[in-house]
Amino acid sequence: MVDAAHPSDGEVPPGLAPGGVSNASVAQAFHMDNAGVISLVGVPQTDNPEHDLLVALMLGYRDLAKKTRVLGGALKKGARQTGFPIERPSAYLAKSSYVNVSGSGRSKGYSLKNEGIRYASRVAGQLLAGGAD
The pLDDT tens digits of the residues spanning 28-71 come to 899 999 999 999 999 999 999 999 999 999 999 999 999 999 99
| pLDDT confidence of residue 6 | 36
Return the amino acid letter for 32: M
| pLDDT confidence of residue 23 | 59
Q: How far apart are CA 19 and CA 111, in angstroms?
A: 18
CA distances from 45 to 26, 38, 42, 52 (A): 16, 19, 9, 9
- Domain of 104, in residue numbers: 23-126
66 within a domain of the structure (yes/no)? yes
Give the E-state strand segments of 22-107 in sequence order: 30-32, 38-40, 70-71, 99-102
| pLDDT confidence of residue 20 | 42
Q: Is the dihedral of CA 10, 112, 14, 124 positive or negative?
A: positive
pTM of structure: 0.80
Return the amino acid letter for 29: A
How many distinct structural domains can be found in the chain?
1
- The domain that contains 83 carries what CATH number? 1.10.10
pLDDT above 80 for 88: yes
103 within a domain of the structure (yes/no)? yes
13 within a domain of the structure (yes/no)? no
Among the listed residues 54, 64, 73, 36, the one whose alpha carbon sits nearest the alpha carbon of residue 111: 54
| 107-116: pLDDT as tens digits | 999 999 999 9
Helix or strand holding residue 40 (H, E): strand 38-40
Among 4-13, 34-43, 97-106, the minimum mean pLDDT is found in: 4-13
